[in-house]
């Protein structure tokens, strides 16, 4: 799903949040209805990003929170953007991970324990460029990110030792 469209003067702007919210609500429902048979996918270099489910702990509530995210692989790590549909605020799952970076992710081949961190410096630049190799994030990430008040975090999920992966 592309997160942007062009307006009449050639500027890239985010897809309306209502559309994105509806898409993700339907995606989660399809996952539940099919018992998880539809909804998770592996990334395909040059074709599409992958889909995972992440389980975090709410920083205020202490309750489990589950979100679907797009990702791609970087060695043993998985990478995503904390973009919240290119809205101005950071997504709740990223705020939760900043309070407690441990999480469980569900992938097509099963669950995995991870620790999340924000990429920085040369690593962030390299990963930011790699997003273009997995279509669906948006045609011009820099233009989309300009709609946000701060830098969009590139989030790296590192496997936790002993998690079997």
Does any domain span residue 23?
yes
Does any domain span residue 148?
yes
Domains in the chain, number? 1
Residue 51 domain boundaries = 4-159
Q: Which two tokens mark 88?
A: 């101005």
pLDDT in tens, 127-160: 999 999 998 887 788 888 888 888 999 999 999 9
Does any domain span residue 73?
yes
pLDDT in tens, 84-124: 877 788 999 999 999 999 999 999 999 999 999 999 999 99
Does any domain span residue 165?
no
Does any domain span residue 164?
no
CA 104, 101, 80, 49: dihedral to nearest 10 degrees? -10
What CATH number is associated with residue 45?
2.30.110.10
Buried b (16+ CB within 10 A) or exposed e, 29-43: eebeeeeeeebbeeb
Distance CA 53, CA 102 (A): 14
């Amino acid at each position: 799903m592309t997160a942007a469209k062009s307006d009449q003067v050639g500027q890239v702007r985010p897809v309306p949040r209502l559309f994105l919210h509806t898409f993700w609500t339907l995606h989660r429902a399809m996952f539940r209805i099919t018992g998880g048979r539809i909804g998770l996918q592996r990334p395909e270099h040059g074709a599409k990003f992958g889909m995972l489910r992440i389980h975090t702990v709410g920083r205020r509530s202490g309750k489990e929170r589950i979100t679907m995210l797009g990702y791609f692989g970087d060695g043993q790590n998985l990478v995503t953007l904390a973009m919240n549909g290119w809205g101005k605020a950071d997504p709740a799952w990223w705020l939760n991970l900043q309070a407690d970076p441990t999480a469980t992710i569900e992938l097509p081949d099963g669950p995995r324990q991870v620790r999340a961190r924000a990429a920085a410096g040369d690593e962030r630049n390299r990963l930011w460029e790699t997003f273009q190799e997995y279509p669906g994030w948006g045609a011009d990430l820099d233009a989309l990110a300009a709609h946000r008040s701060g830098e969009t975090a590139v989030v790296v999920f590192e496997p936790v030792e002993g998690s079997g992966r």
